[in-house]
Amino acid sequence: MKKTWALFLQDGKLSLKGIYFYMEVFIAVVFVAVMLFLVPENFTRTQTLHVLLELSEPARSGVVQQLGATGAQVVLSSSRGELEQAMQRDRMSGGLVVSTVGDKLKFELVLQGHESARIRNLQQASLEGALLARQPHFPSTIRTTTLRPDAARLSDRQGILPVYLTMNVALMGLFIIAAYVFLDKEEGVIKALAVSPLATWQYLASKMLLMLCLGVVSTLVVVVLLDGTANLLWLMALVVASNLFGSALGLLIASYFDSMVQAMEVLYTAMIVLMFAAYSYLMPAFSPWWVRLLPTYSMLIAFRETLLVGGDMQLVFMTILMLLLLGAASFYAANRRYQRTIAA
């Protein structure tokens, strides 16, 4: 342990003289600044509705009153041409033309063209439902129940934190630890270490320890400033497990190559594959089985749980256990490989 500690202090000193430490801190600071000053706590999704009313009074006033009650942002147009021009200026807006056929109201939904068939049908159904609901004596048979009425949800800003933690704390170590090993190879010091009583695993462990410190520091900076401290101890335990997993995987991949240039392709590919899980996290509708098998998928979900008040800590515990096991297996394999190739 004395030797690992000596090497860790040495690597720490070197990292303060290099760029990687500052790069990690810089990314954390930039992330916090963007989240605090550019990203709103929650995204608002109010759609503007451009409305053309080809009606005479009193029907016109009645429709205006009803539209106002929906909460939508309504802008009245005076002609069809004006409505279409307004929609072209705001590509996220929608349009509605209300006219009469005989003594009945006729509704025409005007869409931009980029809406999917699902959205198109949904809007049509919503309009029909709203109209039906305003019929006198309309019998509503819809009842809404909630499985977990006390379930908390993260703000939109906090919801991005698990992605940041997975990318910057778990997977960034994959790159940086490889860079440190290749730097030692380039300078040749790895040969000098190989002919000292320092064991290979001690060399690798000191590098992982350094990555862990970087990960813990950058996590604390981010979660404290972004109010992600609901289950801080569980969160830090998960950060440790994720970071060890990422570092061990980085060491294993790097053991197959002689330089960072050679290893870059595989490291990038590994990172991209592992980050597929972020798509499923952000868009739960896309969760194929192979994405759910990725350790980063469980990692993202577990990070989310640690940020939630009343999150599922059993799931977090199981994820920590899984990451530690995967990390240990990667470390064992990396150690075996480096014992044979460290000074080659």
Residue 58 interacting with another protein (CB under 8 A): no
Closest CB 9 distance from another protein, rounded Å: 8
The residue among 136 and 188 lying less far from another protein, judged by its C-beta, is: 188
Task: Give the shortest CB-13-to-another protein separation in angstroms.
Answer: 7
| Beta carbon of residue 195, minimum distance to another protein (angstroms, whole number) | 4
Residues in contact with another protein, total (CB under 8 A)? 24
3 binds another protein (CB under 8 A): yes
CB nearer another protein, residue 128 or residue 187: 187
Q: How far is the CB of 1 from another protein (least distance, A)?
A: 12
Residue 343 sits in the site that holds another protein (CB under 8 A): yes
With CA atoms as reference, report the closest residue to 207 among 9, 2, 1.
Answer: 9
Counting beta carbons within 10 angstroms of the beta carbon of residue 207, is it exposed (0 to 12), middle (13 to 18) or buried (19 or more)? buried
Distance of CA 101 to CAs 32, 67, 106, 127, Å? 57, 20, 6, 18
Instruction: Determine if 1 is a binding residue for another protein (CB under 8 A).
Output: no
> Which residues 170-199 are close enough to bind another protein by CB under 8 A?
187-189, 191-199
User: Which residue type does 76 have?
Assistant: L
- Please state the φ and ψ torsions of residue 173, each to the nearest 5 degrees: -60, -30
Distance CA 303, CA 166 (A): 8
260 binds another protein, rule: CB under 8 A: no
- Compute, in degrees rounded to 10, the torsion defined by CA atoms 229, 275, 279, 31: 40
Interface ranges with another protein (CB under 8 A): 2-3, 6-7, 10, 13-14, 17-18, 187-189, 191-199, 340, 343-344
